[in-house]
Amino acid sequence: MKILYVITKSNWGGAQRHVFDLATAMKDKGHDVYVALGGEGILKKRLEAAGIYTFSIAGMGRDVNVSKDAGSFKEIFSVIKQKRPDIIHLHSPKAAGLGALAGRLLGVKNIIYTVHGWAFNEDRSIWQKAAIIFFSWMTMMLSHKTILLSGFEYSQAMSFPWIKEKLKLIPLGVKMPTFMSVDGSKQTIAKLIGFDLADFNKRTVIGTIAELHKNKGLPYLVNAMAAVVKEYPSAISVIIGDGEEKAALDLLIKEQKLEKNIFLAGYLEHASEYLKAFNVFALPSIKEGLPYTILEAGQASLPVIATPVGGIPEIVEDMRSGILVQARNQRELAHAISFMIEHPVERKQYGAALKEKVATKFSMDKMLSAIEKLYSESI
């Protein structure tokens, strides 16, 4: 089969990781694979290193811009017309809307849209949410099938009219990362944030890997740590990732006088390999789909503190494989962090339970098999 993947941005987030996993797996299975994406980011570089041909669409971005979006549509239309794919598999709202319309106009027989968290769940005005809901519905109407990665997103999609037969729940699948040893990962992270290894080993490390975006709720982690370090001054938080909120987080850390306890480590290639440097993984998101980073934390046997948004409760069971705290509630978050510091035995039990849950429910092989079956249905 000839498969064209289309995604809005070429940075390295969960949606991009998913496209990379699908594209490389389908190429290995013998299919002809192409990827159209916005910009010249890490995803493009990794795909090309894997031998996958990419089409860079310079003007395609997350924000609405009529002239740039019209140009992006023309470029996507041109790519589809040139390659004549059997399947177009769309990821992220902008690429999905433009790609579904172009695909329909050109008569593509199998247009699939994967939802990576509904944008109408974000903190927006009522008018913006109404517009997003309408265009989300239109995208599903134009697509032949819509894949939902979590039961939460599936239940929301079921409320839209005339699209129930198009919906398919396929849980996200993850490969087991090649984790660095505990000592090796601690040495790498300690050096990255300016610690010597002996001092780092004395700390309880609350870590996260996330794009520095408002949806991730990282200011609540900073404010929670301000309360935690008053009681546990040796606790530190290491945030791996980059993004538009970096300057604001830097400022908040300084305002809270936490420069010795919270470290923005920046983007780190293959960051999940270093998860064993952490004692606890925290992700205080205010909006999520089904985050890879929590699944990978589970594979590393880490206990997780997270919020019950999106598909997270389908991964983390409160007080069994981690702790769920209400979004935007830094007091609850601080209490959860303190509990984890005080209870190392429970930390170990939570981490083991989460590892088992990820292994049984979030299989890469099961996901690939279900998606490939969907590809073949209209061929």
What sign does the CA torsion over 344, 346, 349, 355 have?
Answer: negative
Alpha helices, DSSP H, located in 171-274: 182-193, 197-201, 218-231, 246-255
Measured CA to CA, the distance from residue 377 to residue 372 in angstroms comes to 9
pLDDT grade for 379, boundaries at 50, 70 and 90:
low
Same domain, 153 and 250: no
pLDDT grade for 378, boundaries at 50, 70 and 90:
low
SS (H, E, C) 298-309: HHCCCCEEECCC
Share of the chain above pLDDT 70, in %: 99
Q: Which H or E run includes 359?
A: helix 344-361
Same domain, 162 and 187: no
The whole domain housing 224 covers: 182-361
Same domain, 129 and 224: no
Same domain, 154 and 189: no
User: CA angle, corner 157, sides to 156 and 160, nearest 5?
Assistant: 105
pLDDT of residue 64: 72
pLDDT of residue 68: 86
User: Residues 6 or more apart from 76 whose CB is under 8 A from it?
Assistant: 6, 36, 57, 95, 98, 99, 102
From 201, 194, 157, 168, select the one nearest 89 (Cα to Cα).
168
pLDDT (tens digit per residue) in 201-221:
999 999 999 999 999 999 999
Amino acid in the structure at residue 19: V
User: CA angle, corner 368, sides to 303 and 379, nearest 5?
Assistant: 155
For residue 164, is pLDDT > 60? yes
pLDDT (tens digit per residue) in 288-337:
988 999 999 999 999 999 999 999 999 999 999 999 999 999 999 999 99
Same domain, 65 and 45: yes
Q: 88 is written with which tokens? A: 């177009």
Question: Exposed, middle or buried, 29 (CB in 10 Å: 0-12/13-18/19+)?
Answer: exposed
Same domain, 154 and 190: no
Q: In the beta sheet, which residues pair with residue 38?
A: 57
Measured CA to CA, the distance from residue 178 to residue 175 in angstroms comes to 9
Q: The CATH number of the domain where 231 resides is what?
A: 3.40.50.2000
Same domain, 26 and 106: yes
Same domain, 54 and 112: yes
Phi, psi of 361 (to 5 degrees): -100, -30
Tokens 């090796």 map to which residue? 184
Same domain, 190 and 160: no
pLDDT (tens digit per residue) in 250-279:
999 999 999 999 999 999 988 999 999 999
Same domain, 245 and 168: no
For residue 8, is pLDDT > 60? yes
Share of the chain above pLDDT 90, in %: 89
User: CA angle, corner 368, sides to 153 and 5, nearest 5?
Assistant: 75
Average per-residue pLDDT for the chain: 94
Same domain, 235 and 324: yes
Number of structural domains found in the chain: 2
Do the beta carbons of residue 207 and residue 238 sit within 8 Å?
yes
Same domain, 264 and 306: yes
Q: In the beta sheet, which residues pair with residue 115?
A: 148
